[in-house]
Structures are given as C-alpha cells and as structure tokens.
Amino acid sequence: MKQLVILSGKGGTGKTSVTAAFAHLASLGPFADRVVLADADVDAANLELVLKPRILEQQEFRGGQVAEIDQDRCAVCGACESVCRFDAILERDGYYVVDPIACDGCAACVYQCPTGGIAMHEQVVGNFFVSDCRYGPLYHADLFPGQENSGKLVALVKQHARQRALDEHRLLLLVDGPPGIGCPVISAVSGADLALIVTEPTVAGIHDLIRTLETVRHFGVRALVCINKADLYPAGVEAIAAQCRASGIATVGTIPFDLTVADAMVAGEAVTAFRPAAPAAVAIAAVWERMSAALMNFETPINQDV
Amino acid sequence: MRIVVASGKGGTGKTTVATSLALVAAEQDAVCFRDCDVEAPNAALFLHPVLDSHREVGILVPQVDAQTCTYCGTCAEVCQFHAIAVVGGKTLVFPELCHGCGSCTLVCPEQAISERLAVLGVIDSGATAQGIAFAQGVMNVGQPMAVPILRELKNWCPAPPPTARGAQARDIEIRDAPPGASCPVVETLRGADFVLLVTEPTPFGLHDLKQVAAIAHDLGLPAGVVINRDGIGDEAVAAWCAAHDLPILLRIPMQRRIAEAIARGTTLVAAEPQFRPGFRDLLEAIINRVNA
C-alpha cells in the first residue's frame, strides 16, 4: 500500500480539484476498488463537496482541554491571570473568567490557584467521519470553526484510513492535504510515500512551493510537482522548472487554466468525470498516468520536461 | 482601526485585497500592514517593503539544572503536553512538544528550571516606498506552531510610526490572515475591529466562508464580504450573505488579465487603476461600519 499526499503551500492552487479527479481516475483503472480516500484539510474540508459521501459512522473528536473557574471557590486573587501566557483569563466585573477561545489548555492556572477553584474540561472540537462515496471509502472530519488541534484530528483521520487500506489490502491511500507548512501539514505528510505538490506559476505560488519543498525534504518525503494554471504566467513556469531542477525534484506535467474546473465544482463532480475532454481534465488524466506509474514503481524515471 | 482580511479557503484573493486596500489607504492614512500568514507569507512579494529588521521569536521552553533537580517529577505531572519527563534518573525536555506555558518552571519545588527561547520563526519588519509600516512573521520549516509567532507579530510596534500623506491621518492596521479556520485564524482575528471576508463564488469558497464567518460571529466582530472572481461558479455566496446580513462590499470580476497581473506580482490597483475608487469606497464603508 502506498500513501500519496497532495500539497501546495499556497492555498487555492487546485489541490482538492486534482485530488477529486485522481479519485475518479483511480476508480477506472487498475486501482478500481483498491483506493482509500482521506481529507486531511479538516478546517476547510472541501473534498466531500465533490465526492458527496454517504456517512456510515460518526464520532465526536475531543481535542484539548479548557480551564474553567468555579466562581464559588474563586478568591479573586488574580494568580491565574498573572501566570497565564495566553491572555486567556479576563477580569470582568470583579470576577475572573476564562476565554475558552484563547485558552491553550496548559493548566498552569490550575496549579497556581490557591483555592483549587480551577478545573480542566475536555472539549468536543470536531467530528470524525467514515463514509462511502462513489470512488471508494472516504475518511474525513470537520473541525469546529476556530478550534485547535487540527494536527491531531488529521492524524486520527489518516490513522483510520491507513488501517482500512492495510486491512483490505488496498493499493493506495490518497490524502488531500491542507495549505501551509504547519501542524496539520506535518501531520498529513507523516508516513507518506510520495507528496504531489500542486503549484501555480504565480510569484506567491512559487514562494510557497519553495517552502513546501523544504518541508517535505525536512521530513524525508519524496515529492513531485505539477503546475496548475500553467498558461497564466509562462515566466513563472520557467522559474518553477528551474527551482525543481535545482532541488532534484521531477515535474509530472502541467494543467492549463480552465474555468471548467469551477463549473465541475458547482456541479459537484470531479472535472475528469464532468467533462473528460476539457483541457484541464485531459491534462490531469496525463498527470495521473505518470503519478500512478511513479507511485507503484519508484525506480521508473518520471521526469517530464515542461 | 484594525482590519483583518480573511477567507477560509486559500487562494481566494486575501493578499490581493489586503495589499490593494493598504495602498489605497496609504494615500491618506497612516497604514500598518501585518502579514499574519506565517506559514506562507506573500504580501511582501506585492508591496516590496524594505525589511531591515529581523527578530527571532518563539516560546520559552524549560531547561533543567541537573545539579539542583531532585527528580521529584512535579514538572512532568503538571505538563499537559508530555514535554517534560523524568526517566531513569534524568529529567528530559522535549522542546518540540512544549507550548511554552511556564507551568513546570512555576511548580518546581527546587527552582531547578529556568527558561530559554526556542526559536520558531522570525519577524521581519520595515516600510514600503509608500510609507506603509510593514511586518511579516515567517515560521521556520518543520515547526508546527504558528500562534506564538502571531502573538509576537501582533505586538510589533513600527518605529517610526507610519506616515500619512494627507491631513486625515487615521491609523489603519491591515492584517492579512492565514487560510483555514483554526487557531492561527482566531489569533489573527483577536483584538481586531472588522473582518473582511474574501471569497469566490464557488461551493468551496462558500463552505469555507461560512467557517470564518462563524468565528467572526463568535468573537462579536462586524464583517463584510468581497467576492473575487465574480462571474465564475454560481449565486450561492450572494444568497447566503443576504440571508445572514453580511454586506457584499466589493466585487472583483473574473478576468484573465487580472489573474495574469497578480501572477507576475503586480497589485490589483497598480495593474488595474480603475479599481482604486472601489477600494477607496471599501475602506470608507468599513470605517463607517465600525464607527456606527
């Protein structure tokens, strides 16, 4: 079983549209019924908007703890406020209260309260789902707006998806990653055999691609790059190709700027299923051919000059 | 006046809107810009500030004096993140798990714990040619925690203060938020006066817009919407905004020419000056809503 994670650094480069198309394409070829899907972008979970999952199982996700002050025991001494480094304890009308959004769950206040009037309470910060969708089992989650611990929730999603893939001897775990390079990305990358970085030839896209390449290198994950919206800025494509050559990273193709991708999103379909002859769909299919070959045989040279 | 530009979904045009809003505001007002997308900071690519100051920032992590430590384990008991442990007659610190809360240092009965800065990233600061005071947080690769960098970034005070060219001289702070809807977005929004939600009229744009609008609502922040790439997708974003009393303050049409200009690193108002009045009206609309 191989684990493929789709990343980008910069948001909005087309990670989820590419992942949905891969899920569709995988259902047609030798990977049919051999794929497990996971959405690791738990605070902006969009893959399900395309895959239309039927939820089979739902679990509450308990994240970190939050402090709570028992007003009957509070001596209003302010010790809690003075030790809190997260500005989470507020004085309000002569009382101390905890701002649950700011609270980091460190419990420093609990140990400093002279009256033992502060306790920690576990919070339900999201939901975790096991679903079936038209292209296979989908593991996904929904972190409540503004909550912490997205990295832990990503880890939970991936852990269950991976176990399913192993139990059923599936060939591929396809993971739609979050943007950025921080905690949920680190969680999404962990254990991956290959990262496909979907970038775009824009100054921002290139800047963030470089940071993403450094991140996957830091965690020792092999990466390939695909350039979306490639015809927007030809000089940017050259810059990406040069950057990839310098980093020893292969490019697996380009996808043209094509508004059919947005139409497919509105229709709730993978672009390759919605309009297989659209320029973006044809290009993604070609990228998938090279990607899947690369995944199953790491020895095959996969360099494609752009 | 602190305005946060946020979106939920990445790539909807947060930085496009934030940078153009800053440039238009700087014609009259004293503007301070903070790029709070510390994982992928891009505003400097458009505003070209001279960043002449660089400060390492991070969290304070414990260091244990082995001479004084009696291995009583109190530090390990209070640590909620398993970042300190007593194992085989040694007290071990795992800085990558530490949240920097200082609880272990406070409870140590021997005062054997002191603290050192564990660097998570850098705050770069300076000013642009237009006199915009500019700072960005840049998280180090491989680090998971953005929030401590954001806290430092929000505390940064420009010196000298940003210059206003006109007579009005209002202080305008613009924060370019990270994508998503989890803790870094909340930290960016805390202490703000207004949140400008940049979205695109697609199902992904709407889904993620709802997430951030919910945070703004929880924080009691007034909000308004910019629809970028207007013309693609469907009408669901406008319908949802109308149903939730969220004013649509600006629409930027989908034009390939705009996308190409942004790709090259040109700001929207520099590439397409006809948008200047729209951004001027946007700024005044925000200020009026906050002051109302």
Burial of B106 by CB count in 10 Å (0-12 exposed, 13-18 middle, 19+ buried)? middle
Three-state secondary structure call for residue A12: coil
Res A299: pLDDT? 47
Three-state secondary structure call for residue B5: strand
Tell me how far apart the alpha carbons of residues A187 and A284 are, in angstroms, rounded to a whole number.
26
- Enumerate the β-bridge partners of residue B84: B93
User: Distance, in angstroms, between A251 CA and closest chain B CA?
Assistant: 20
User: Distance, in angstroms, between A126 CA and closest chain B CA?
Assistant: 11
Cβ of residue B257 closer than 8 Å to a chain A Cβ: no
Nearest chain A residue to B214 by CA: give it.
A145
Q: Which of B10, B143, B181 sits opposite A146 (nearest CB)?
A: B181
pTM of the model as a whole: 0.94
Q: Please, are residues B121 and B141 in contact by the beta-carbon 8 Å criterion?
A: no
Check whether A304 has a pLDDT greater than 60.
Answer: no
Does B106 sit within 8 Å of A182, measured CB to CB? Answer: no
Does B39 sit within 8 Å of A185, measured CB to CB? Answer: yes
Res B35: pLDDT? 98
Q: Please, are residues B29 and B131 in contact by the beta-carbon 8 Å criterion?
A: no
Res A305: pLDDT? 42
Check whether A301 has a pLDDT greater than 70.
Answer: no
Confidence of residue A266 (pLDDT cuts 50, 70, 90): very high
The mean pLDDT of chain B is 95
Q: b or e along A81-106 (b: 16 or more beta carbons within 10 Å of the residue's beta carbon)?
A: eebbbbebbeeeeeebebbebbbbbb
Q: b or e along B29-64 (b: 16 or more beta carbons within 10 Å of the residue's beta carbon)?
A: bbbbbbbbbbbbbbbbbbbebebeeeeebbbbbbbb
Check whether A302 has a pLDDT greater than 50.
Answer: no
Res B119: pLDDT? 97
pLDDT single digits (tens) B4-13: 999 999 999 9
The share of chain B scoring above pLDDT 90, in percent, equals: 93
Tell me how far apart the alpha carbons of residues B212 and A284 are, in angstroms, rounded to a whole number.
31
Phi, psi of B62 (to 5 degrees): -75, 150
User: Distance, in angstroms, between B136 CA and closest chain A CA?
Assistant: 14
Structural domains of chain B ordered from first start: 2-57+120-291 (3.40.50.300), 66-111 (3.30.70.20)
- Choose from B7, B82, B138, B182 for mutation: most chain A CBs within 10 A: B182
Q: Please, are residues A32 and A135 in contact by the beta-carbon 8 Å criterion?
A: no
Nearest chain B residue to A211 by CA: give it.
B141
Check whether B274 has a pLDDT greater than 60.
Answer: yes
Res A306: pLDDT? 40
Sign of CA dihedral B80, B86, B91, B97: negative
Check whether B168 has a pLDDT greater than 80.
Answer: no
Res B164: pLDDT? 63
ipTM comes to: 0.92
User: Distance, in angstroms, between B218 CA and closest chain A CA?
Assistant: 9
Confidence of residue A11 (pLDDT cuts 50, 70, 90): very high
The share of chain A scoring above pLDDT 70, in percent, equals: 97
Tell me how far apart the alpha carbons of residues B51 and B128 are, in angstroms, rounded to a whole number.
9
Cβ of residue B182 closer than 8 Å to a chain A Cβ: yes
